[in-house]
Structure 1
């Protein structure tokens, strides 16, 4: 199982069905959210909205409530009445909690608590998991903190650690990694910088919470013409070389060639 839905994943509250189609038009995939975006009193009707949704199942992720919550079992029952098979599990804290999913489902484990980040290696190794995502605000709240970011907008060290750990454990198991949302809606430059760093670091996608954020994410993940040209040239040069070689004043070895292949993959080539 692989994760390849595109770089911009847009959350949409499951109690707003009038937004489902528009969200999917804007983004590479839509995350229909049954958890934090929906009030407890609206969760039952939100499940009905997902059952009734006429959307491409290959581009839909359903975020369910945390394992062990009162709503989780109802979410699973609802999924069996749909064609949606990619599930994001909120506040995943153990690999065993994912055993309820059979081979029909692909799971995106959302590690957004101290327990979840601590268990990221075991969660990433689960057979149903195709990708991991991390969340900053719930993580800091689980530690008793009050803010994931400093006054200048950069992440505090604990958030940076969680981001790195989820990326590393995902990569160690050959799974995709999804970067957290940028909650400052008006800060498109900050989002663009974070998404560019995510793409360069190895994340497969960045989640977002507003359609206006989609283009900044796509642009950040798309390599520019010069990057694509370099990748093509260095890979062509490697066909005539063995082992380490010199190219445009730079030492080239297999890790650098893998970087080049990643650039072309992000460019869709």
Structure 2
């Protein structure tokens, strides 16, 4: 599965029917770009959007396609089967990396999508409802799932919540997704959007909350959100220096358990250090 997308800190949405924006979205340096056939496309433009997506991906490089996901329409919609057919064709030609499934609630839907896109494609279920939360463990364990993602706004609508910007009511929901991801051995989940892309203070607070809560990435709706989110979710200079010291000490000890700064360095600590360095190796947007 895609190491690039497993370590990505930012996933930028772009409408499928705005093909002139697809390459520009990739050029922002977002770790992943999600070409959206769902909410960003009006019902009467769904078919046109598929055609524009097919044309635009053909012009991309292999590296760009490796960062490209497609959000299809939900299982309950009229457009789902047509979208599935399209992403199956694109994945077979290695033109996309995988698929985002909105309103994910049933593992069987992911099993079918995994068959459609083949073993090299990845899946990102978007948890947006009470039913999706209830099924989080099964969704995380489905084949080819790379990460879970949280649709925070749709989740609030599904439950009739009226959260303020802190979204304190969603703390247990976010924790449940982090736990489901960890139990399934997935990369850290992807947090939801900050709807006002002009509100830098709100974006910073939302991203800090995501990091504190164990999320490794965030959905973005505007290119201006990419760089600050990428920086805020990445390791600090001090964390990178600590990680290098951990690996140096372990190597000097021949792989055995050592003590560093009064703390035992065992396998879980080494894995954390390795993850920090892998995150730090990502190019900045």
Q: Show structure 2 runs of 5+ residues with no match.
A: none
The correspondence of residues 128-143 of structure 1 with structure 2, limited to 5 A, is 128-143=144-159
Counterpart in the other structure of 1:185: 197
Counterpart in the other structure of 1:260: 273
Counterpart in the other structure of 1:65: 73
Counterpart in the other structure of 1:25: 27
- Name the TM-score, length of structure 2 as normaliser: 0.84
Asked if structure 2 preserves the Cα contact closer than 8 Å seen for 1:10 and 1:209, the reply is yes
Asked if structure 1 preserves the Cα contact closer than 8 Å seen for 2:13 and 2:222, the reply is yes
The correspondence of residues 205-224 of structure 1 with structure 2, limited to 5 A, is 205-224=217-236
The count of residues paired between Structure 1 and Structure 2 equals: 263
Displacement of 1:97 in angstroms is: 1.5
Asked if structure 2 preserves the Cα contact closer than 8 Å seen for 1:178 and 1:203, the reply is yes
Counterpart in the other structure of 1:166: 177
- Name the TM-score, length of structure 1 as normaliser: 0.89
- Partners of 1:13 and 1:52 in 2: how far apart? 14
Counterpart in the other structure of 1:97: 109
The correspondence of residues 10-49 of structure 1 with structure 2, limited to 5 A, is 10-26=12-28, 27-49=30-52
Displacement of 1:202 in angstroms is: 4.0
**Residue 3 and residue 162 in structure 1: after superposition, are their counterparts in 2 closer, same or farther (change >3 A)?**
farther
Deviations 1:50-88 (A, max 9, x none): 111123321110000111321100101222342224000
Asked if structure 2 preserves the Cα contact closer than 8 Å seen for 1:4 and 1:204, the reply is no
- Partners of 2:186 and 2:53 in 1: how far apart? 27
Displacement of 1:140 in angstroms is: 1.4
User: Which of 129, 136, 147 does residue 120 from structure 1 map onto?
Assistant: 136
Displacement of 1:264 in angstroms is: 1.1
Deviations 1:223-244 (A, max 9, x none): 2222211111133223438546
The correspondence of residues 225-236 of structure 1 with structure 2, limited to 5 A, is 225-236=237-248
- Partners of 1:250 and 1:190 in 2: how far apart? 36
Normalized per residue, which structure has more helix?
2
